[in-house]
Amino acid sequence: MPSLPKVFETWFASRGWHIHPHQADMLARASDPALLLIAPTGGGKTLAGFLPTLAELADGTRTGLHTLYISPLKALAADIRRNLSTPVTEMGLPIRIEDRTGDTSATRKKRQRADPPHILLTTPESLALLLSYEDAPRMFAGLSRVIVDEIHALAESKRGDQLMLALSRLQAICPDLRRVGLSATVENPAAIAHYLARHPDPCAVLTADPGPDPDISMLETDERPPWSGGGGKYAIPAVLEQVRQHRTTLIFHNTRAQAEIFFHNLWLANDDSLPIGIHHGSLAREQRERVEAAMVRGDLRAIVCTGSLDLGIDWGDVDLVIQVGAPKNVKRLVQRIGRANHRYNAPSKALLVPANWFEVVECVAALQAAKAHDLDGDPRGPGPRDVLCQHILIAACAGPFSADALFAEVTTAGAYAALSRPQFDACLDFVATGGYALRSYDRWQRLQQRADGTWALRDPRAAARIRMNIGTIQDTDTLKVRMKNRRGGRPLGEVEESFAATLTPGDTFLIGGQVVRYESLREMTVEVTRCADKPPKIATFMGTKFATSTQLSQRILAMFQQDSWPDLPTHTADWLALQRERSKLPEAGRILVESFPHDGREHTCIYGFAGRNAMQTLGLLIT
């Protein structure tokens, strides 16, 4: 166990801080092979994860990569680098910290492989790419610790499965590697601990004091929400009043298009010219970085944003979070609430703005779940085979491999612990030959078995194509958007190709909070000007479209079965009563089908509340 060096104690004392119990516990158990820390937002869990690293590196005797930090968001990795650099600089520690994401320059990436920093902050995709190179064993040779931040967000998707396979590869390179998971919102700690640890190693769970409950309620507005629709435009006067009353407000939306529309309308109503920014993943990196820097300086009173800012990021002096639209997921709501008053034992403050009457019901259900600490989350099944196939190709890019050794390595990842050898061999055969469906096509003959029994790429040139397609995030074809200029104008962001195809010269649309006019498509770039003389179209952006979680749907269905709804506004309660009178309210385990004539045509509505996958499947069967 590394003790806390004197310089750390002096630094804590100079700031009037003291080490929290869960931070001391993490330091005391630094030698454990795996640890999961569950601590409230603002509770210093990131520092708790890094304290053993800083203590081990403080004497300046270590060279090479010591700790790998992995986060779901590029912005979070950049934020951690800024925040971690402060104590390192002030204590004069001989520690080099760098991040590596899709925004990192090619020159820096090349240097990092040759001369890695002590602490490297990255994402699952960037780690998988690093492991695909032949020099990966040399780069990671001295790695001692891996910190997986916001582990709950990764555990819910194939990104997490790919990460755990990458950790199995790292563990083979560095057998004594220690793993740390950090999260504020875990509904099943034992399942996440099993997911994090090398199978069958144990993983202890440390739980910090949860602190006070958040101050969360619905925003009161003079105008009631509309019966249908989205965007929350009706609430803009009330939202602006809240912005005036607080230092910095984050205004979250569920989609990038909704964020753009709301920001545009908010700016038009901003008679006081309050400094307000917009931030989402489809904006140009330069614009996102300008907004982030302004947030850190405290120059902005409000930021309209999406999921790009809802995980772990500590931006300036945020004292209010507003969620526009139903949160769809209780864990996401709790995570976003935690951006406000991001301090230990300080209650977060948040307001919900439903976009329509149904979202009023959903927001009330989410409020009740958040106050009851009832987090949602579905149990994960076994590790997906498509991710395993990609992992086998990544291993082949790095050099010849033994199928026996790779199988033994893969089954140390919790989700793949029950993988049978025939299942593994089927995946290996598929990536090697294309399987029964693609066996006849030469381009899918990607691996070959050598005389010594190892497997290798049939054509080494295929490595470049494999690396270009690493990752489990489904890409949407997008086009860059730039201001028109003979030398190449300022980048604004990107829109989906399908939207760009609908544009004709003179059309206007919203991006980065401003109305721009489409001029031309040049070299796969949408060129625009600021000449806006038409109502803007709604651009479509790549990004996640959220579905209501199963647990939240069950709460909503339970509310529907109440005799009355005293917790709901009168307009929404009357609307539910009318639905019950004219038809029925949906029930758990039943499908409600309504047919009615409208506008000279027959219409059918099907209510199932069974989750997006089930309802999409039902829709495909019916249509």
Q: Per-block average pLDDT, block size 10, for the chain (623 residues)?
A: 77 86 92 92 84 91 93 79 87 92 86 93 93 94 93 88 96 95 87 92 90 85 86 92 93 88 91 92 84 87 84 69 87 74 69 92 90 77 93 96 96 93 96 89 90 94 91 75 77 83 85 85 83 72 69 91 92 94 92 92 90 85 86
HSE of 8 in the Cβ direction (CA atoms, 13 Å)?
Answer: 21
**What pLDDT is recorded for position 1?**
47
Question: Six-digit token pair at 358?
Answer: 């149904």
- CA 426 to chain centroid, in Å, comes to 32
DSSP helix/strand/coil, 165: helix
In this structure, the chain runs to a length of: 623
* DSSP assigned state of 220: P
Report the Cα 161 to chain-centroid distance in Å: 15
Distance CA 205, CA 166 (A): 22
* pLDDT confidence of residue 3: 66
What is the per-residue pLDDT for 349?
A: 85
DSSP state of 234: G
Q: Residue 604: its pLDDT value, please?
A: 92
d(CA 291, CA 259): 15
Report the half-sphere exposure of 250 (CA within 13 A, side-chain side).
36
Task: In whole angstroms, give the CA distance from residue 496 to residue 542.
Answer: 6
